[in-house]
Chain A
Amino acid sequence: MRPADRLPPELAAEGERVMRLCNACRYCEGFCAVFPALERRLSFAEADLVYLANLCHNCGECWYACQYAPPHEFELAFSRTLAQIRAASYQQNVRPRALAGLLRHGGRTAAWLSAAGLLLFLALELARGGMAGLVAPHADAAGAFHALLSHGAMVAVFLAAGLWAAAALALGLAAFWRQTGERFGDLVASRAAARGFWDALRLRYLDGGGGGCAYPDEVPSPARRRLHHLTVAGFGLCFASTSVAAVYHYGLHLPAPYPILSLPVVLGTLGGAGLLAGPAGLLWLKLRRNPAIVDPAQTGLDVGFLVLLQLAAGTGLLLMALRQTAAMGTLLALHLGLVLALFVTMPYGKFVHAVYRYAALVRYALEQRRPRAAR
């Protein structure tokens, strides 16, 4: 392994220690996939720690249930240790490696890139219509957006950003998978891959073994899982809205903006609402969660991503509401800038958790099929 791929030695040692404790105890095995997976192991190399850490949702159940949590002398903070290992593993798998700093300062990265996106689109708009074009009120007629911004330029920018993000995420995923020693084919095309995808999507293990999990406090609650579903659904609907719009544009030769009751606008509005409400709820829970269970160093990463989702959604909704006013030009640039930042930061922000969780769950599904060691 390259030095950059190693966990900090104290973290690896602590990871091994907590795994040994849990493996000798096993009381939490009903909560999630982490425990059954660790019970298959007799020793915990770094690759095992990274895999196990990425199975964990940091739901908090095992913190409250642990008889070895502080003030016990074992000072076991299992979920926090896993969170630290998870963060370190994100660092290991950033591609290109030179951009690891972006991920390390995820919150700041999101802010700077949003500003850069805004400036880029303002510049493109100014280049097309000058100051007068930017601030003029607009008729709510098809093609108004493109009077401001060349469709070609817009597509080019987003295509480049999308390809970049997809490539970087895929390389990170490949690096993660290589560490597991599993076959590449199994990651994308296997029954285990289907199982892992489905388990990741439905947040199967964010449920405390049934009945919700201990987040933001001790009382089992389905709140986080529901809000996460809402967020993902919002994201999915916005994506669907954009895809339908592309079909309208290229297939039906209908340029944006579309009428209020058209499919892209309805999908986008619902999606935008989900992306406002879901992250708002998640942020609210985050404020109230127990600091003992988390790795405080990651708050910026989490918050940066959630706020960016909300800003992108919020400006999208505003743009729709104010598209006949003089604010449209600026709002369009703002919205597109934020969406661009969202794309570009996907491999360098909280979004990566989805990719690695998927991979970890695929591996879990693969392991479940294999005979397990004696108990």
Chain B
Amino acid sequence: MDWARTYDVLVVGGGNAGLCAALSARRAGASVLLLESSPRELRGGNSRHTRNLRCMHDQPADVLTGSYPEEEYWEDLRKVTGGQTDEAMARMVIRRSATCRSWMAGHGVRFQPSLGGTLHLSRTNAFFLGGGKALVNAYYRAAEALGVDVAYGAEVRELELTGGRFLSAAVTVKGFGNRARARTLVAAAGGFQGNTAWLREAWGPAADNFIVRGTPYDDGTVLKLLSGAGMRTVGDPTQGHAVAIDARAPRFDGGIVTRVDCVSLGIVVNKHAERFYDEGEEFWPKRYAIWGRLVAQQPDQIAYAIIDAKMPGTFVPPVFPPVEAPTVRELAVALRLDPAALERTVEGFNRAVRPGTFDHAVLDGCATAGLSPPKSHWARRLDTPPFAAYPLRPGITFTYLGLAVDERARVLAADGKPSDNVYAAGEIMAGNILGKGYLAGIGMTIGTVFGTIAGEEAARHAAR
């Protein structure tokens, strides 16, 4: 890259959203500089850990089965967000999601026919062949081929704006300061989940027990700089996507493998060996995104998913082996829980289980009676040793507090007027659509749609 040059478009963040912006801006003829704060080997932010995106379609299409019309997509989104969304913007994204795949394929992304997957998503979601890192690699190759300048290990530390107009960015590249100048800025630097101090501000000391599922480089610097420069934000800093993951996961970047998919099959207890939520309320894929928050609300933010020997084989085997014991009492000892309390909980649960025919593929009739909280489906007695437990912690995927934008991806100033030359895409603005809740695969859809819009708009603006 050339630090002396004034580029048409400066893209900050080399994940899915930033890459989509860089590619579409370059295609529109703009000169583009993309800055990515991680080293090359760890490029791609959270996008590197993804697997699919959610697409609208009116009939079976390439890798997607059946149909997923706009209305159904919108209804799904409205439900999970409890209406905390912007309908016009959301519908725009949904409609554009129908044509994303061909644009993506045109830049080297390959899709795979779903071989089953865990989430039964082959109707609504298109899976990337090889996952998100393969997607990111393909985009970087395409960017290189098109002549996008890319700098790795390049962290934006300061932004120079006057009256809401972007002028330049102060960048640290491997410890040395530089200044990047451009006519437009696309902010695609992710959420702030990688920033432990900020999480603590929002969540209090509980945040120290959170595990970050994705990149440590999404530390919210750009979000903070732009809101500090008078841009409007949307959303609540405690809102985001969080799931319950294996407590033994690495502090960052554990990604998908730390998932524990047996919650709905057994019971989950807290550190007092007490159950706290209906484990069988709904299919796991529809509920896994609430369990991060549920565990975060428990004392010391820890919980244990407990199953017996009947259950392995009916869920994806987690990466870390479970803690096992021949009796419930010994399991409690191994987990350092109160043995009497765990025995009481398991006995109480076993007594409440009503007879039924177990079938994990449907909302079966196996439920408890007279138990609080109840278990509404897949309730089977825990009676076959060895008993096994997986410790759980809240695993935060990404935060929703973001920059307010309009449908042209222009960042809004405090007075609600769109900025002249600042655009945003991806996690950093997902809160416009996701006030709360989550719909699997919509993160990449938002990033792809807004990324391509931001790139086109920025290129057009720079050419004026």
Interface residues, chain A, with chain B CB atoms under 8 Å away: 20-21, 23-31, 36, 42, 61-62, 64-74, 208-211, 218-220, 373-375
Contacts and interface: CB of A to CB of B under 8 A. Distances in A.
B137 A64 contact: yes
A71 B255 contact: no
Interface string B36-65: 000101100000110100000000000000
Interface in B246-264: 250, 253, 255-259
The 8 closest A-B pairs by CB, nearest first: A27-B131, A30-B112, A65-B130, A24-B319, A24-B257, A65-B134, A374-B314, A30-B129
Interface string B108-134: 001011011110000000011111111
Given A61-B130, A65-B137, A67-B132, A27 B313 contact: no
Interface of B: 39, 41-42, 48-49, 51, 110, 112-113, 115-118, 127-134, 137, 141, 250, 253, 255-259, 312-319, 321, 360-361
B258 to A, nearest CB: 8
A214 to B, nearest CB: 9
Given A24-B259, A25-B256, A67-B49, 8 more contacts: A20-B321, A23-B317, A24-B256, A27-B131, A27-B132, A30-B113, A71-B41, A374-B314
B250 A29 contact: no
A286 B301 CA distance: 51
Contacts of A210: 110, 129
A72 B130 CA distance: 17
A42 B313 contact: yes
Contact of B130 (A28, A68, A374): A28
B313 A21 contact: no
Contacts of B133: 27, 64-67
Contacts, number: 102
Most chain B beta-carbon contacts within 10 A, residue among A27, A42, A68? A27
Given A65-B137, A73-B250, A375-B116, A25 B130 contact: no
A117 to B, nearest CB: 45
A62 B131 CA distance: 10
A24 B117 CA distance: 11
A374 B313 contact: yes
Most chain A beta-carbon contacts within 10 A, residue among B48, B131, B321? B131
12 contacts: A20-B321, A24-B317, A26-B117, A29-B112, A29-B115, A30-B112, A65-B131, A67-B48, A71-B42, A209-B130, A373-B314, A375-B316
A259 to B, nearest CB: 51
B257 A42 contact: no
A24 B39 CA distance: 26
B317 A20 contact: yes
A374 to B, nearest CB: 5
B257 A68 contact: yes
A373 B48 contact: no
A72 B216 CA distance: 12
Nearest to B134: A65
B232 to A, nearest CB: 34
A28 B257 CA distance: 13
Contact of B129 (A31, A68, A73, A375): A31
Nearest to B318: A24
A72 B253 contact: yes
A26 B127 CA distance: 11
B110 A375 contact: no
A209 B49 contact: no
Nearest to A41: B317
Most chain B beta-carbon contacts within 10 A, residue among A24, A61, A69, A220? A24
A345 B132 CA distance: 43
A30 B128 CA distance: 9
Contacts of B315: 374
Contact of A375 (B42, B48, B118, B127): B118
A30 B127 contact: yes
B115 A30 contact: yes
Contacts of B256: 24-25, 27
A26 B52 CA distance: 13
B199 to A, nearest CB: 21
Contacts of A21: 257, 319
Contacts of B314: 373-374
A24 B259 CA distance: 8
Nearest to B246: A24
Nearest to A30: B112
A73 B129 CA distance: 24
A5 to B, nearest CB: 26
A345 B112 CA distance: 40
Nearest to B120: A375
A71 B115 CA distance: 29
B332 to A, nearest CB: 25
Contacts of A70: 41
Contacts of A23: 316-317
Contacts of B253: 67, 72-73
B141 A219 contact: yes
B310 to A, nearest CB: 13
A39 B95 CA distance: 35
Contacts of B51: 27
A119 B4 CA distance: 70
A374 B314 CA distance: 5
Contacts of A27: 51, 128, 130-134, 256
Contacts of A31: 129-130
Most chain A beta-carbon contacts within 10 A, residue among B129, B318, B360? B129
Contacts of A24: 256-259, 316-319
Contacts of A374: 313-315, 360-361
Given A42-B313, A209-B112, A373-B313, A25 B134 contact: no
A26 B259 CA distance: 12
Nearest to A220: B110
A342 B128 CA distance: 43
A27 B256 CA distance: 9
A64 B123 CA distance: 28
Contacts of B48: 67
A27 B49 CA distance: 9
Contacts of A68: 255, 257
A25 B250 contact: no
A357 B321 CA distance: 31
Nearest to A43: B317
B421 to A, nearest CB: 34
Nearest to B256: A25
B13 to A, nearest CB: 17
A69 B41 CA distance: 9
Nearest to A17: B319
Most chain B beta-carbon contacts within 10 A, residue among A23, A29, A31? A29
Contacts of B250: 73-74
A36 B115 contact: yes
A70 B128 CA distance: 21
A69 B314 CA distance: 28
B110 A218 contact: no
A74 B128 CA distance: 22
Contacts of B112: 29-30, 209
A209 B318 contact: no
Contacts of A64: 130, 133-134, 137
Contacts of B130: 27-28, 30-31, 61-62, 64-65, 209
